[in-house]
Amino acid sequence: MTVTVRPVETSRELDAFIKLPFRLYQGERNWVPPLISDRRRFFDRSKNPFFEHGEAEYYLAWRGDRIVGRITAQVDRNLHAFQDNRWGQFGFFDCEEDQEAATALVDAAEAWVKARGCDRLVGPFDFTTNDECGVLVEGFERLPVVLMNWTHRYYPRLLEGAGLVKAMDTLMWSLDVVDRDRVHPAIWEMAEKVQTEHGITCRPMRKHDLQAEVERFLEVYNEAWQRNWGFVPLSPAEVRHYAKQLRPLLDENWAMVAETADGRVAGAALSLPDYNQVLKRMNGRLLPIGWAKFLFYRRKIDRVRVFALGVKKEFQHTGVAARFYQMHYDSAERTPQKVGETGWILETNKPMNRAMEGMGGQIVSRYRIFERVFEGC
């Protein structure tokens, strides 16, 4: 039977869109099922603040009465304004090993963004670079850390077969935060001078003041990452949304803020205990006994994801980043978490990749973002 691609139009079809990966990844030990309730909220246009500045269409690929794939197409007005581009994007690409279906899905996403004045299709982004993005090209043997995905080995081949080419790779570095001798001594020397020479205090975030702390963190995040390829700053509504999402995951041992003597925010670092080690056992549901599993397995988490670590430009000479690295080692001494993985770092970000190398890190995973530039654009 030929493949047909149609927009999701009913709640039943949306439910099928959300649950398709549970079938496609069945038996894959390193795929982590998302919470179905979270996915429903994410795709609800009335609840996800992305839709205050963007729009999206959800597609399913059918072969007869069988669903064989899915994709989203989206346009982000904030991205266009901030990066001065006309990108259209796709995300949530999941598909059987079926080139015809994959090509049909990409073609549908292209037609949708092209109709809205875009000059290329880039992705996958779910929905922006602030969310999960890319497909895995190296590191299939590892369980991904929280807020990262695991995708089939054949996805890069399907996307290339659909006419897409590499746009950018992102790297995940692993760091053992127990052996200080592996770290270049210059990092510890810089860390010791942050307060004495620059008057900057680095402290743990305060969970009881979470909203204000997350706003401080995202103030740094929006400034420190603004020069990154594909970055789009979070809106105030998205800041509030992320604060609510992060509250259950936040551990004060792994969340840090740097402030000057007069109260200005100089930098921030946020690492999250790897709740993928818990979600792996939940099969997408908290009820009826999921909460008991959640509370039990949460105590066994042994690694963190460095979600973001940033310093404002005017303070980047002060050693704040080095002090944050030092605080991560201090935290590992008093918590069960002894290993960290960085949030993805662009392959072109040479200073950050050099820093990870200087910390004794190793690249353990690589994700790829693809693009198709439209003819005549």
pLDDT surpasses 70 at 118: yes
Between 224 and 373, name the one with better pLDDT.
373
Domains and their CATH numbers in the chain: 3-168+369-373 (3.40.630.30), 175-366 (3.40.630.30)
- At 290 the pLDDT is 63
How would you class 35 by CB atoms within 10 Å of its CB: exposed for 0-12, middle for 13-18, buried for 19 or more? middle
Sorting pLDDT into bands at 50, 70 and 90, what band is 287? low
Structure tokens at 219: 């103030």
**113-122, 177-186, 272-281: range with lowest mean pLDDT:** 177-186
pLDDT in tens, 319-331: 999 999 899 999 9
User: How many Cα atoms occupy the beta-carbon half-sphere of 195 within 13 Å?
Assistant: 8
One-character DSSP codes across 272-283: EE-THHHHTTTT
Residue 97 region, left (φ>0) first, then alpha (ψ -120 to 50), else beta? Answer: beta
d(CA 166, CA 240): 34
d(CA 71, CA 367): 18
- At 377 the pLDDT is 60
Residue ranges in the chain assigned as alpha helix (H): 11-24, 36-43, 77-83, 99-114, 155-161, 185-198, 210-224, 236-246, 276-279, 290-298, 320-334, 350-358
pLDDT surpasses 70 at 219: yes
pLDDT in tens, 76-114: 999 999 999 999 999 999 999 999 999 999 999 999 999
0.85 surpassed by pTM: yes
User: How many Cα atoms occupy the beta-carbon half-sphere of 237 within 13 Å?
Assistant: 8
The whole-angstrom distance between residue 76's C-alpha and the CA centroid of its chain comes to 17
d(CA 34, CA 43): 13
d(CA 6, CA 2): 13
